[in-house]
Amino acid sequence: MNYTLHQLLVFQKVVETVSITKAAESLHLTQPAVSIQLKNFQDQFDIPLTEVIGRKIHITEFGQEIAVLAENIINQVQAIDSKTMAYKGQLTGRLKIAVVSTGKYVMPYFLGDFLNEHSGVELHMDVTNKSMVMKSLENNEVDFALVSILPKAVNLEYLDLLDNDLYLIGNTRSSLNEKMDPEEIFQEMPLIFREKGSGTRQTMERFIEGSKISIHKKMELTSNEAVKQAVLAGLGYSIMPIIGIKNELVAEQLRIISVKGLPITTKWRLVWLKGKKHLPLPLAYLEFLKKEKEKIASRFFGEVTAEKEILKKEA
């Protein structure tokens, strides 16, 4: 047999994702390239590793066993790389973080300096909704997660990174009269929600229930970006984190509508399972954040803080 490490990596990723397309995206390869490497790897075995049923790829029992061995080989190779880098005094390995979708506006800024300082570190960041983030965390599949609302059912430790302020927003063409009381405002407007399981959705529902407001017109979209585009297009209004709309506010495409009870402020928190024994890499990252988080927040999010202070004065 003459299979390569690259073929093992491709096969392991196909098994992990059960998809040629997703494996290609994860490895930053084209789908044909993944298919060719998978075929070349398969050609070295007399027993099928995969089979396609109804246009969906399935991993055979033999393939699952080979995948376990492939992962062990890959881990051993990474261990060799880690030892080599360690002797040079450098951190190496894979840092795995799950991020709620709105957190994509936050997390990269708290990673940049660390990754630039440690070139041997590989980042795996999964951006998805809150329920999937918590599933990854509970299954111990990631080192950390970024959330804005702490779940009650999971025992976690956390580090606060940044305020998360949510306001009622509309586009600048809106003729909504802010002098109406909240009940009238929310009956008048179509309100755009995130999907169930979203932290932003939970915050919106908590505000509506606490304010005893009835919503008569609403729609539901599955990403923060989709909600923003819908508001820009004039389809309705939404309660959104200011962190994700700062450019549109500066460009005067969106405006904040003053309503009693808003903004709601939560915290962007890096969380991990209570009692988790961190490996050297995630432990080093945690120490980096404890030391540098204030500087990062000031450097990259200072204008958001300034905007918030202006809004407080206007209110």
130 Cβ contact list (under 8 Å, min separation 6): 100, 147, 149, 197, 198, 199, 202
Q: What pLDDT is stored for residue 119 in this prediction?
A: 83
Q: What pLDDT is stored for residue 129 in this prediction?
A: 83
Q: What pLDDT is stored for residue 35 in this prediction?
A: 92
Greater confidence, 158 or 77? Answer: 158
The overall average pLDDT reported for the chain is 86
CA distance 70 to 11: 8
CA distance 90 to 84: 9
Q: What pLDDT is stored for residue 145 in this prediction?
A: 96
Pick the CATH number of 165-266 from 3.30.1300.10, 3.40.190.10, 2.60.120.10, 3.40.50.300: 3.40.190.10
**Amino acid type, 220:** E
232 Cβ contact list (under 8 Å, min separation 6): 171, 248, 253, 254
- What are the Cα distances from residue 7, in Å, to 3, 20, 109? 6, 13, 33
SS3 helix, strand, coil % of the chain, rounded to 5? 50, 25, 30
Q: Identify the residue whose tokens are 């809106």.
A: 174
Q: Identify the residue whose tokens are 């009381």.
A: 181
Q: What is the CATH number of domain 93-162+267-310?
A: 3.40.190.10
CA distance 41 to 8: 8
Measured CA angle at 108 (ends 103, 113), to 5 deg: 150
Tokens of 180: 């109406």
Q: Work out the average pLDDT over 238-257.
A: 89
pLDDT score of 179 more than 70 = no
Q: What is the DSSP letter of 143?
A: S
**Where in 149-282 does DSSP place strands (E)?**
156-171, 191-194, 218-221, 238-241, 254-257, 264-273
pLDDT score of 183 more than 70 = no
Q: What is the CATH number of domain 5-87?
A: 1.10.10.10
Q: Where in the chain is the domain with CATH 3.40.190.10?
A: 93-162+267-310, 165-266
- CA-based radius of gyration for the chain: 23
Quick one: how far is CA 64 from the chain centroid?
29
Digit-coded pLDDT (tens) for 149-168: 888 888 999 999 999 999 99
pLDDT score of 33 more than 90 = yes
Q: Work out the average pLDDT over 162-187.
A: 77
Q: What pLDDT is stored for residue 131 in this prediction?
A: 85
